[in-house]
Structure 1
Amino acid sequence: MDATMDNQKARAAAWFRELRDQIVERFEALEDNQTAGPFSDQPAGRFDVSETKRASADGSDAGGGLMSVMRGGRVFEKIGVNVSTVYGTLGERAQAAMAARKGLEGMADDPRFWASGISLVAHMQNPHCPAVHMNTRMFWTPHAWWFGGGSDLNPCIEYPEDTQAFHAVQKGHCDRHNASYYPRFKEWADEYFYVPHRGRARGVGGIFLDDHNTSDWETDFAFIQDVGRAFLPAFVPLVEARRTTPWNEADKDKQLIHRGLYAEYNLVYDRGTKFGLETGHDANAVLMSLPPLAKWV
């Protein structure tokens, strides 16, 4: 059983890295093909890639990953695409939080964990292009394993047809596996990406899932792969349609204010941010989701 799970972990980690490579290649191609608009005369953006390390309390190997960040591109003002595989033991605070939220017993007796995933956040140059977030992950403890993640769209200037198209791709990929997945995970995203102190959602939603374990690892892995595969066909056509739309300072102001909302959510409510910082992962990688510029009124 342990050998089987080790193989499954390796396959999951390899898939997240493969997906990362596909996205990086596609986004650099978008930069190359941006031949009109206010930033088209500057060099095409490229990802700056660096290794990340997780800090363990005793100095032992605790894993790490790759942080890939592009700044000041033709299309992307800032985008981060991170992959990581980390492991070790959960601290008491993380143990208690996980036991309470997931109902896991025995965490204090055996607090080992392993986690691998991809996380992406894109902030765009053109205010008419929506920001976007995507992540998928696998988490393991001796007591349970599960998958999680999703993708959500965060426009500062909403186009209903873009929202509809984004959701349609998500639904199509979910429906390949279970007709109940899309409505359930859409509702979960609407609840999860809500900003209580502002009384509004941070964007127009998408799908979100956590603790996904049907007891069939192969089936669940196939599904989480499709959640990742949905990202490029859901997002790239929207960028291609909007990236040369004329914009003015009022549009840019809307974008900066919306980014403030995005930053508030990620710093106050996002589980991934909290988990990454509490378990010693590279802070720059954890906080790469923050926008390059934001504004508050």
Structure 2
Amino acid sequence: MFQNICIKSFQAVSSVTLYRHVFKNKGTRLRHIGAAILSSGMAAYAATKYKAEMAKAEIDTVNFMAAPITDIKKLSQNPNDMKTKMELLIMKMQAEVCHALEAEEDEGTTFHVDRWERPEGGGGITCVIQDGRTFEKAGVNISVVQGHLPPAAVQQMRARGKILQEGPLPFFAAGISSVIHPRNPMVPTVHFNYRYFEVKNADGSVQWWFGGGTDLTPYYLDEDDSKYFHLTLKEACDKHDKTYYPKFKAWCDDYFHVKHRGERRGIGGIFFDDLDTPSQEKTFNFVRTCAESVIPSYIPLVQKHKDDPYGYSERQWQLLRRGRYVEFNLIYDRGTKFGLYTPGARYESILMSLPLTAKWEYMHMPSPHSKEWKLLEVLKNPRDWLGTGNATK
């Protein structure tokens, strides 16, 4: 365990070093995120019976935030099943992200861990911080659910080009979803989601695909931050296919478009869905690399800005921008819609992405050439941060 902590600490420090080297930020006090990644969610493992099961299992789950949704014996017996691989990946990523975020909070501020089960099949683990000094609301949620697709979900999938047979369609879905709403307006909000989906047709054939992405929503534009964030995602994509970043960056700009406002939710990142090539294993490896890029892409930005000064006007602008965030999630977001359509849905977890506080002000418009205006210009006209050229999905 000590070796794993050292490795994670080195990786975190390396990401901070890269940020300093590339953009040479002055006056920035970045502190190591790895030294404090000593778990705080271990209370979930207090039960003696569960510890005994873990000791017998071939799969190491000791650092997870709670017990896996699928029975540990079943996971151990099916290590090569993609459903097993995806569940273990999202459990691992949930714990690593939670511990990295806790390291940026005051001592004693930890995630509330809520493991829940779904009567129709499966369940999830919702981890939330509320009213922290650094994070006003931070949620990291995993879900592993199964059952039969509801008609509304089938209709939505067919609208995206999926060819689904008639009749009851068994499905399996596993994913991790997180939205981090910081307290300081100078720290951007980040969202990431990575998921795997299977649908079994009446003839026994199985359709599978992956989806997900990571995107940044700043309240005040820092161009160095934006370039660093996109560079980290590009490096993750380039390990698998150099066409991925420009394609998925353009897809992200298109997807997170608040159409009735004529602006994007943030400065983008990457987004993809229905990804089922070149192979299941290679696509899974790509998704894993993207998920592992979340901490190094975001934590240095938190460390850089969480103690920046701000006043009343900056806070009000932050609340207005959060209102736009809410509008997108409730009107357009595909994952939110699927969750709300699914029987037995747990609405507290689905709506975890909404901020603790937000604001809507009638006909608000920032002053021309102000810092707020500068952000709005980028939201209306997405920028090619790394000069990779325009791409279409």
TM-score (normalised: structure 2): 0.69
Residues 68-77 or 3-12, more deviating: 3-12
How much has 1:4 moved relative to structure 2?
A: 7.6
Find the counterpart in structure 1 of residue 350 from structure 2. 286
The answer to whether the Cα contact below 8 Å between 1:45 and 1:71 also exists between their aligned partners in 2 is no
The answer to whether the Cα contact below 8 Å between 1:53 and 1:282 also exists between their aligned partners in 2 is no
Identity fraction in percent = 41
Find the counterpart in structure 2 of residue 134 from structure 1. 192
Find the counterpart in structure 2 of residue 240 from structure 1. 303
2:103 partner SS: helix
Find the counterpart in structure 2 of residue 38 from structure 1. none
Aligned counterpart in structure 2 of residue 221 of structure 1, from 284, 287, 299 = 284
Q: State the structure with bigger RCO (CA 8 A, min sep 6), 1 or 2.
A: 1
> Partner amino acid for 2:87?
A
How much has 1:183 moved relative to structure 2?
A: 0.3
Aligned counterpart in structure 1 of residue 137 of structure 2, from 55, 58, 78 = 78
The answer to whether the Cα contact below 8 Å between 1:44 and 1:73 also exists between their aligned partners in 2 is no
Find the counterpart in structure 1 of residue 113 from structure 2. 49
> Partner amino acid for 2:348?
N
Q: Please list, as runs of the form range in 1=range in 2, the aligned pairs for 1:138-149 lying within 5 A after superposition.
A: 138-142=196-200, 143-149=206-212
1:144 partner SS: strand
The answer to whether the Cα contact below 8 Å between 2:135 and 2:181 also exists between their aligned partners in 1 is yes
Find the counterpart in structure 2 of residue 104 from structure 1. 163
Higher strand share: 1
Q: Distance in 1 between matches of 2:172 and 2:237?
A: 26
Distance 1:4 1:211, change over 3 A: farther
Find the counterpart in structure 1 of residue 213 from structure 2. 150
Structure 1 unaligned spans of 5+: 33-42, 57-61
Find the counterpart in structure 1 of residue 153 from structure 2. 94
Residues 136-145 or 218-227, more deviating: 136-145
Q: Distance in 2 between matches of 1:159 and 1:134?
A: 20
Q: Distance in 2 between matches of 1:220 and 1:294?
A: 37
> Partner amino acid for 1:273?
T
Q: Deviations over 1:41-96 (max 9, x none)?
A: xx64211111233353xxxxx11110000001121000100011000001122112
Aligned counterpart in structure 2 of residue 175 of structure 1, from 213, 226, 238 = 238
How much has 1:104 moved relative to structure 2?
A: 1.4
Structure 2 unaligned spans of 5+: 1-76, 201-205, 362-393
How much has 1:144 moved relative to structure 2?
A: 1.1
Q: Distance in 2 between matches of 1:54 and 1:162?
A: 40
1:30 partner SS: coil
1:80 partner SS: strand
Find the counterpart in structure 2 of residue 190 from structure 1. 253
Q: Distance in 2 between matches of 1:263 and 1:100?
A: 24
Q: Distance in 1 between matches of 2:118 and 2:273?
A: 23
How much has 1:122 moved relative to structure 2?
A: 0.6
2:329 is equivalent to residue 266 of structure 1: yes
Find the counterpart in structure 1 of residue 264 from structure 2. 201
Residues 254-263 or 213-222, more deviating: 213-222
How much has 1:138 moved relative to structure 2?
A: 0.4
The answer to whether the Cα contact below 8 Å between 1:157 and 1:254 also exists between their aligned partners in 2 is no
Aligned counterpart in structure 1 of residue 98 of structure 2, from 9, 21, 24 = 24
The answer to whether the Cα contact below 8 Å between 2:114 and 2:127 also exists between their aligned partners in 1 is yes
Q: Distance in 2 between matches of 1:239 and 1:93?
A: 39
Structure (1 or 2) with the larger CA radius of gyration: 2
Q: Distance in 2 between matches of 1:271 and 1:105?
A: 18
How much has 1:110 moved relative to structure 2?
A: 4.4
1:292 partner SS: coil
TM-score (normalised: structure 1): 0.91
Give the RMSD, CA atoms, in angstroms.
1.5
Find the counterpart in structure 1 of residue 175 from structure 2. 117
The answer to whether the Cα contact below 8 Å between 2:129 and 2:138 also exists between their aligned partners in 1 is yes
Q: Distance in 1 between matches of 2:117 and 2:288?
A: 25
2:124 partner SS: strand
Find the counterpart in structure 1 of residue 319 from structure 2. 256
2:216 partner SS: strand
Q: Distance in 1 between matches of 2:336 and 2:179?
A: 13
2:104 partner SS: helix
Q: Deviations over 1:246-296 (max 9, x none)?
A: 000111011000000000000000000000011032000000000000011
2:354 is equivalent to residue 296 of structure 1: no
